[in-house]
Structure 1
Amino acid sequence: MRHVIALDVGGTAMKAALTGLDGTPLYEERRGTGRERGPEAVVESVLRFAEDLSVLGRERLGTAAEAVGLAVPGIVDAGRGVAVHAVNLGWREVPLRELLGRRLGGVPVALGHDVRAGGLAEGRLGAGRGTGRFLYVSLGTGIAGAIGIDGAVEAGSHGRAGEIGHVVVRPGGPACGCGGRGCLETLASADAVGRAWSAASGDPDADAADCAGAVESGDPVALRVWQEAVDALADGLVAAVTVLDPRVVILGGGLAEAGDTLLAPLRAAVAERLTFQRLPALVPAALGDAAGCLGAGLLARDLLAALAVRT
């Protein structure tokens, strides 16, 4: 059966699938990245996982995979097929497309950014389906976004479009890993809310989910911490709405799992900040943590379609 390999690499885990050319899932598996053994070990884990999936596809489906879609975190230059920088994996200038293509005997490889791949899946298959223009925002360890335009995701001239987490919303605020201060992700990511609630509650093990629970219970300190994050997120989204004018803003990632505890005050905060702009629908993501892998599969199938046109 004709199929592609889809592989989504996270900081500690990888999600992979074999999918038919129509998108039908044929096999799914998860593995660790081996990050504790260093960046070279992570690269080898990715290559080995893809190789094992290639073998499995031949054995179970009777044919070789026709393409690979690989989604990775950090800064990605998809044109060159290079993972430019990923802090949580220790990568710098890793030529993943070349390495993976060589390991699999010349199979074409599409390399993409994990959040943009997730946004691609949400746009075609999930909460953004049929909307035309959307902004997908992942609220996890950090904050990143994907700009959706008519079924595609805009990568930008240098592969860095959609990095809403590094919009400065509090000048001079907390230091960010990017080198700036007051970036949105230092104030409104799941990690940032967890840190703020841990400090405010005195519980070193508290996280963003605990803060959301305390908000739902009416804890006034949790409400203050939560509202500060909501206000920062609203400021960042208003900047994005002003520039992009999306029809829908899709919120995914760990913080968005709070549902209306986040969405209700966020909708109100965004609405009160708008002047001439149109308020987009603010909706939760529909695909959960499968979005990145589904998006990687779409990248692989899009690559096949593009190669077919060229020939």
Structure 2
Amino acid sequence: MRHVIALDVGGTGMKAALVGVDTEPSPDRPGTPRPGAPGHPALLHQARRATGRERGPDAVVEDILDFAAELRAYGEERFGTSALAAGVAVPGIVDARNGVAVYAANLGWRDVPLRRLLGERLGGVPVALGHDVRTGGLAEGRIGAGRGADRFLFVPLGTGIAGAIGIDGGVEEGAHGFAGEIGHIVVRPGGAPCPCGQRGCLERFASAAAVSQAWAEASGDPGADAADCAKAVESGDPRALAVWQEAVDALADGLVTALTLLDPRTLIIGGGLAEAGETLFTPLRAAVERRVTFQKLPSIVPAALGDTAGCLGAGLLARDLLNPTSTTPRR
């Protein structure tokens, strides 16, 4: 069974898989074959473990290398063959072209040559390194909610907000690796300060972290979070409705700026805040529609792959190394 190694490294945990080379993961049931559809299996083996960042950045790197080596050994034992390539998705600033994790505040990394280190640990197999959001966007575009769209924008709403710009089966990196940083569009000039140095950035108003903070203050419960706010919205709590609408309006402002520049066919919204379902999507679609003038209104849909998107995308990056000209057909 020909396969590649896929790793998705987060701030607190790592997700990993062995992905079949000759088939694609099913968008309907990641990890299982799609019945009757040649070319569509999937995740042959999955594993998770803690990132262990409390032990320092060097220990995290060593854990990644050890995890990849264990996956390689498992594949050799289970399938009788070594992994042909590896893909890894990491947070922060990533130089995908040179295979360097340039900076990751939550992992304490600076200029980690992760592609070279993984290649050496895995016996010289080719390794692809990608940004976590763009890698997740690649998976959503090829096998998830953006499948069939020639242009899409994937926006996960988590602790922060980032974006992945999908074009014809690939994801735009940008000249300096910053393409898609929609969370740092200023939507409220002079507003709350952002760690990036600006004031009024989108992620200070519409991320899951921002909604959690606003609802904790409004409700008087320091332990309340965005999921609690969504439940209060569904029950008609006027304080929650005000917090939620402020976030939706800020998000709509940022998304309309992005669609004005990028003209995507589909907007894919993921991350923790999207788990609220229509509590988010119904007012968001209405808010975006109110704001568009000459722009073509895109489809606004929830992400399909959940927290497996990064790992699936890392597998796709690895497979692309084996056949660089191959992309999923678009219509």
Structure 1 and Structure 2 fold alike (TM over 0.5): yes
Aligned with 2:56 (options 38, 42, 46): 38
Instruction: Look up the match of 1:212.
Output: 230
Aligned with 2:117 (options 99, 102, 115): 99
Aligned with 1:73 (options 83, 91, 94): 91
Shift of 1:173: 1.3
Greater helix proportion: 1
For 2:14, the aligned partner's letter is M
Moved more, 293-302 or 86-95: 86-95
Instruction: Look up the match of 1:62.
Output: 80
Shift of 1:307: 9.1
1:227-246 matches, cutoff 5 A: 227-246=245-264
SS state at 1:306 partner: coil
Instruction: Look up the match of 2:35.
Output: none
Aligned with 2:216 (options 177, 180, 198): 198
Instruction: Look up the match of 2:11.
Output: 11
Corresponding position: 1:148 with 2:142 = no
Q: Deviations over 1:52-97 (max 9, x none)?
A: 1011111111111110010001111101101111111111111100
Corresponding position: 1:52 with 2:70 = yes
Report the aligned-residue RMSD: 1.1
SS state at 2:323 partner: helix
Aligned with 1:130 (options 140, 145, 148): 148
For 1:227, the aligned partner's letter is Q
* Matches of 2:197 and 2:118, distance apart in 1: 32
SS state at 1:18 partner: strand
For 1:12, the aligned partner's letter is T
Shift of 1:261: 0.5
* Matches of 2:195 and 2:4, distance apart in 1: 35
* Matches of 2:170 and 2:72, distance apart in 1: 27
Corresponding position: 1:265 with 2:283 = yes
Aligned with 2:322 (options 289, 304, 307): 304
* Matches of 2:324 and 2:305, distance apart in 1: 26
Shift of 1:306: 2.4
Instruction: Look up the match of 1:225.
Output: 243
Corresponding position: 1:294 with 2:321 = no
Corresponding position: 1:255 with 2:262 = no
Q: Deviations over 1:201-235 (max 9, x none)?
A: 11111000000000000000000000100011000
Which consecutive unaligned segments of at least 5 residues does structure 2 have? 25-41, 327-331
SS state at 2:324 partner: helix
Q: Deviations over 1:115-143 (max 9, x none)?
A: 11111111110110001111000100110
SS state at 2:82 partner: coil
For 1:200, the aligned partner's letter is A
* Matches of 1:180 and 1:54, distance apart in 2: 44
Shift of 1:102: 1.1
SS state at 1:171 partner: coil
SS state at 2:164 partner: strand
SS state at 1:46 partner: helix
Corresponding position: 1:283 with 2:301 = yes
* Matches of 2:55 and 2:197, distance apart in 1: 26
For 1:303, the aligned partner's letter is L
Moved more, 35-44 or 68-77: 35-44
* Matches of 2:251 and 2:117, distance apart in 1: 38
* Matches of 1:173 and 1:88, distance apart in 2: 25
For 2:7, the aligned partner's letter is L
* Aligned residues between the structures: 308
Q: TM-score, normalised by structure 2?
A: 0.91
Shift of 1:243: 0.3
Which consecutive unaligned segments of at least 5 residues does structure 1 have? none
* Matches of 1:26 and 1:253, distance apart in 2: 25
Shift of 1:105: 1.5
* Matches of 1:61 and 1:114, distance apart in 2: 28
For 1:234, the aligned partner's letter is A
For 2:168, the aligned partner's letter is D
